[in-house]
Amino acid sequence: MEKPKGLLIDLDGTLYHGRQRIEGADLLIKRLMALQTPYLFVTNNSSRTPEQVAAHLMEMGIPAKPEEVCTSSLAAAKYISEESPGAKVAMLGEEGLREALLSAGLSIVEHNPEYVVQGIDRAFHYDKLTHAVRWIQEGAVSILTNPDLLLPSDGGLMPGAGSLGAAIEAASGVKPTIIGKPSSILMKFASDRLGLAPEETYVVGDNIRTDIAAGVHAGCKTVLVMTGITTKLNMEAHMRETGITPDFVCQDLNEVIDLIC
pLDDT tens for the chain, 261 residues long, are: 788 999 999 999 999 988 899 999 999 999 999 999 999 999 999 999 999 999 999 999 999 999 999 999 999 999 999 999 999 999 999 999 999 999 999 999 999 999 999 999 999 999 999 999 999 999 999 999 999 998 777 677 789 999 999 999 999 999 999 999 999 999 999 999 999 999 999 999 999 999 999 999 999 999 999 999 899 999 999 999 999 999 999 999 999 999 998
Residue 140 neighbours by CB under 8 Å, 6+ apart: 90, 113, 114, 115, 116
Is 10 one of the annotated active-site residues of the chain? yes
Tell me which residue of 142, 88, 151 sits closest to 121, measured CA to CA.
151
Tell me which residue of 110, 147, 145, 115 sits closest to 131, measured CA to CA.
110
User: Looking at residue 147, what is its pLDDT?
Assistant: 94
| Residue 91: DSSP 8-state | E
Q: Prior bond to 182 cis, omega within 30? A: yes
Q: Are 57 and 64 in contact (CB under 8 A)?
A: yes
User: Looking at residue 154, what is its pLDDT?
Assistant: 66
Tell me which residue of 225, 221, 215, 249 sits closest to 23, measured CA to CA.
225
Cα angle 6, 152, 133; round to 5:
90
Tell me which residue of 129, 150, 149, 146 sits closest to 183, measured CA to CA.
146
Q: Is 8 left (phi over 0), alpha (psi -120 to 50) or beta?
A: beta
Whole-number Å distance between alpha carbons of 193 and 186: 11
pTM of the model: 0.94
Beta pairing class for 20-21 and 16-17: antiparallel
Q: Are 179 and 210 in contact (CB under 8 A)?
A: no
Catalytic residue among 12, 148, 206, 211: 12
Whole-number Å distance between alpha carbons of 189 and 195: 10
The b-or-e profile of 172-194 (16+ CB within 10 A means b, else e) is: bebebbbbbbbbbbbbbbbbebb
Helices and strands: H and E segment counts in the chain = 10, 15
Q: Which residues pair with 222 in a beta bridge?
A: 203
